[in-house]
Structure 1
Amino acid sequence: MTTSQASVTADARLPLVLLITLGALTAISTLGTDIYLAAMPTMVDDFLTTPAWVQATLTAYVIGMAAGQLVLGTLSDSIGRRNLLIIGTAVSLIASALSAIAPTIELMLLFRLLAGIGASAGVVIGRAVVSDLTAGSETARVFSILGLIGGVGPVIGPVIGAVMLEWSAWPVIFWTLTALCAATLVAVCIGVPESLPIERRTSSAPAHVMRSFASVLRTRSFVLGSVMMCLGVGATFAYISASPFAVQSILGFSPTGYTIVFAINGIGLTLMGAVAAKLSRRISIVKLCLVGLGILTAGGLALLSIALLHVITPFTLLPSLFLASIGMGFVFGPGTALVITDVRFAAGTALALLGCAQYLIGGIAAPLAGIAGEFSILPLAIIVTVGGAGAIVALLAMRNGVSETTAGVTDEVAARPPSEIS
């Protein structure tokens, strides 16, 4: 493989160094979301501000991730992947370092916004690189690995941050992110090729960009697949947001007890993602997604049942939360591969739209899960149940147009223009 071009061969495996680098980019982007959650009370005191302002730093990061994916993913279809990936990682590095030394909460908000924009390059462009360099079941396998990393990050991030706070102050968390960004930047410069040849790039003219957006949004499988993914991700964000209150406020667990529960569920999600990556070469991605969404919906129905019947105990709530948390482990990777099956002609644009929509839906679902107060799980139960069931409906609706035996598209399909695919 050269840095000037890359060929797509069905089921050809990505080089290990490239896979590790793309995984590191995904890990950094997800860790940046909530690795400092445990430090927020201390940050309130240090910045002499309110909890709402400190919580807004997370919102700023999520906005940066959503907007950055939309812009950088689309732009990468026109000017290539490698340079934008390097620039984005460098921005994330600088913003993380500035976050560690931010003198005011207002500047911290700005630095977290920039960090989100920079980190978004690793997510959306990293996946576009996978789309450029793989086909067939290898696409589903790599997306499963990256999806596993991306799904585990928000789950284990708070645990890692809490452990770090046991022996140091909160700026160390951001210095750690800075060091990780620096190591990943070196890896990107050395190990990530330019995966989009010049002859496959699109025009950057606004009119052409809008036509590219329109072509992607007219593709039925992309729209339905995006609905499936967004509903599932919304359910996951709701779980992450509501689980601390469900376990601590309702069940009376200590913060340490909640951390243990959170870690167990994170391990379950990890195992599900690993199984999905292993099975992606033997089982169709539609079936993998159905299994994962079925588990998610079962968790939602269990939560709904115990909420309506008022039988909330550790023996009913914890298993229900476990099911609600692990189901998407089977969906993150295979689902992404399914979404881009028919839109590889504009992979960056498609992944940008998908990534932006996921963060927006997740950002909406998270606060809605707590709308009834810290002692009610009913909103969480409704969001997970509706999200899981709705995702299954979207998947079944798109299944007729997607082959059950392949996880991606061949070179011939990937090279066809939008008018022939959509």
Structure 2
Amino acid sequence: MGTFHAMTNPGKTSASLLGILALLSAIAPFAIDMYLPAFPQMMSDLNTSATSVQLTLTTFMLGLATGQLVIGPLSDQFGRRRPLLLGTVACLAASALCALAPTIEWLIAMRFVQGFSGAAGVVLARAVITDIARGVNAARMFSIMMTVGGIAPVLAPLLGSGIIQGFGWRGVFWVLAGLNLLMIIGAAFLVRESLPPERRSAGGLKVLGSNAGQVLRNKPYLGFTLTFAFAMTAMFAYIAASPFVLQNIIGLGSTTYSLAFGANALGLTAASIVSARLVTRAGPKRLTYIGVGSLLAGSAALLCIIVFAGTPAIPTMLLLFVTVSALGLVLGNASALATAQVTRFAGTGSAILGALQFTLAAIASPIVGMAGEHSAVPMAAAMLVSAGISALFLCTMTRGASMQPEEEGNEKSAVSAPGVK
């Protein structure tokens, strides 16, 4: 009984819970951004090619996508806590095995396992919020979680560079194992079961497939999910191409590039903070429209200035800052709006949202990265196309959708999160 007691205690409990959920969901940026500067060293140490090293990134993202599709629906059946703890322990083991990898083939395989098991934290962090909050309160919690999680892309490249210089590329994976240990401790002490037995799905693969079918037939859910996923695709296009655009084309040094990358991540974080403060007055849907509109306008301006002015440094960097910052208004609100449509199957809904996000990233990132080695046009074009598709789905598939049940005034079904301000 007492399932929700620890979740809804006032004071520090909610802030601590959001902190550990943000850390659990931050495994992706840490595991992606921290080891990127080590690619040349890994090629030499493992006697392999750049393509094979790049494959370690692709397999991680594919593992992350696949893991969410498996773990999310299973959590609707077995609850959140056990899959979360098991997945995080497995991720720790996989991180250690990555650090010990004797060959590139071993590393590629273990990166898939690391992504698959790490998906537990990513998918279940969203599912827990959907279990315990509704409406604008859920949107605020998602935005706050994104704010905390937004620190990861700022810290990861800088932290990774320092680790690689001192301990080599294997040191990065030992640090990731240490982060996994922190996640296990935090999850064990702070994350209680948020899905009581009476709200769980019946057993069997047939039922799991039926749950997924119901989620996929929900048009507003699909609209908000595709809005989120293609907005994230624009971000991954920027992440994949920015080392070439900012260093090879604009001419920034490695340290200046890290600072510029961090500044853009801070812009996204600041926008998430603003979103969390404004959502109770403006509403998550309106903020999503503003964010997607800004992303679309910024990407269009970026492509124009690159094509017609030859990638001038200051305007290009300013437009990248504006465009990336706009995502702070989209990601938390679109996540909340999507999962609000399928609260009965929060794990499945969270899984499809996350899997689509990282599948598109796994496809777009290497293509944009390779195509944009000597030109900024592929990056800007990919960002514009992704933003345009995001806007199309938002405008055509979410009409009339609301954050049920809070907007109908059914406050009994909305669990508050006191202490989160």
TM-score of the aligned structures, taking structure 2 as reference length: 0.91
Alpha carbons of structure 1 residues 19 and 414: separation in structure 2 relative to 1, 3 Å: closer
Q: Point out the more displaced range, 365-374 or 388-397.
A: 365-374
Following superposition, the deviation at residue 399 of structure 1 comes to 4.3
Any conservation in 1 of the 2:142–2:332 contact (CA below 8 Å)? yes
- How far apart, CA to CA, are the structure 2 residues paired with 1:8 and 1:186? 17
Paired residue total: 413
Following superposition, the deviation at residue 280 of structure 1 comes to 2.1
Instruction: Give RMSD over aligned pairs.
Output: 2.5
- How far apart, CA to CA, are the structure 1 residues paired with 2:187 and 2:303? 45
- How far apart, CA to CA, are the structure 2 residues paired with 1:173 and 1:357? 27
Any conservation in 2 of the 1:371–1:379 contact (CA below 8 Å)? no
In the other structure, the counterpart of 1:175 is 174
- How far apart, CA to CA, are the structure 1 residues paired with 2:140 and 2:328? 13
AA partner of residue 66 (structure 1): A
Alpha carbons of structure 1 residues 48 and 371: separation in structure 2 relative to 1, 3 Å: closer
In the other structure, the counterpart of 2:418 is none
- How far apart, CA to CA, are the structure 1 residues paired with 2:105 and 2:370? 27
Following superposition, the deviation at residue 145 of structure 1 comes to 2.0
Following superposition, the deviation at residue 363 of structure 1 comes to 1.7
In the other structure, the counterpart of 1:160 is 159
Alpha carbons of structure 1 residues 363 and 152: separation in structure 2 relative to 1, 3 Å: farther
In the other structure, the counterpart of 1:286 is 285
AA partner of residue 177 (structure 1): L
> 3-state DSSP class of the match of 1:166?
helix
Q: Point out the more displaced range, 351-360 or 55-64.
A: 55-64
In the other structure, the counterpart of 2:96 is 97
Matches within 5 A, 1:50-65: 50-65=49-64
Following superposition, the deviation at residue 169 of structure 1 comes to 2.0
AA partner of residue 263 (structure 1): G
Q: Indicate whether 1:270 and 2:269 are aligned.
A: yes
Q: Indicate whether 1:336 and 2:335 are aligned.
A: yes
Q: Indicate whether 1:108 and 2:107 are aligned.
A: yes
Q: Point out the more displaced range, 95-104 or 192-201.
A: 95-104
- How far apart, CA to CA, are the structure 2 residues paired with 1:275 and 1:308? 32
Residues 177-204 of structure 1: per-residue CA shift (max 9 Å, x gap):
1111112201211111111111111023
4+ runs of 1 displaced by more than 3 Å? 4-9, 11-14, 148-156, 370-373, 403-415
Q: Indicate whether 1:238 and 2:241 are aligned.
A: no
Following superposition, the deviation at residue 282 of structure 1 comes to 2.3
> 3-state DSSP class of the match of 2:31?
helix
AA partner of residue 52 (structure 2): W
In the other structure, the counterpart of 1:392 is 391
- How far apart, CA to CA, are the structure 2 residues paired with 1:154 and 1:47? 27
Following superposition, the deviation at residue 163 of structure 1 comes to 2.5
Q: Indicate whether 1:196 and 2:195 are aligned.
A: yes
In the other structure, the counterpart of 1:35 is 34
Residues 334-380 of structure 1: per-residue CA shift (max 9 Å, x gap):
11001112210101001101110011111222233245442222222
- How far apart, CA to CA, are the structure 2 residues paired with 1:372 and 1:80? 43
- How far apart, CA to CA, are the structure 2 residues paired with 1:289 and 1:12? 29
Any conservation in 1 of the 2:221–2:342 contact (CA below 8 Å)? yes
Alpha carbons of structure 1 residues 211 and 142: separation in structure 2 relative to 1, 3 Å: same
Alpha carbons of structure 1 residues 188 and 404: separation in structure 2 relative to 1, 3 Å: closer
- How far apart, CA to CA, are the structure 2 residues paired with 1:5 and 1:413? 13
Any conservation in 2 of the 1:299–1:384 contact (CA below 8 Å)? no
In the other structure, the counterpart of 1:206 is 205
Alpha carbons of structure 1 residues 352 and 12: separation in structure 2 relative to 1, 3 Å: farther
AA partner of residue 269 (structure 1): L
- How far apart, CA to CA, are the structure 2 residues paired with 1:34 and 1:246? 17
Residues 365-412 of structure 1: per-residue CA shift (max 9 Å, x gap):
223324544222222222211222322232223443223898778577
Q: Point out the more displaced range, 169-178 or 12-21.
A: 12-21
* Unpaired segments ≥5 residues, structure 2: 416-421
Residues 76-107 of structure 1: per-residue CA shift (max 9 Å, x gap):
00011100000011011111112112222111
AA partner of residue 320 (structure 2): L
In the other structure, the counterpart of 1:418 is none
Alpha carbons of structure 1 residues 261 and 300: separation in structure 2 relative to 1, 3 Å: same
In the other structure, the counterpart of 1:216 is 215
Alpha carbons of structure 1 residues 156 and 293: separation in structure 2 relative to 1, 3 Å: farther
> 3-state DSSP class of the match of 2:281?
coil
Following superposition, the deviation at residue 124 of structure 1 comes to 0.5
Any conservation in 1 of the 2:236–2:361 contact (CA below 8 Å)? yes
- How far apart, CA to CA, are the structure 2 residues paired with 1:404 and 1:181? 33
Q: Indicate whether 1:76 and 2:50 are aligned.
A: no
Residues 199-218 of structure 1: per-residue CA shift (max 9 Å, x gap):
11102312211211111111
Q: Point out the more displaced range, 288-297 or 56-65.
A: 288-297
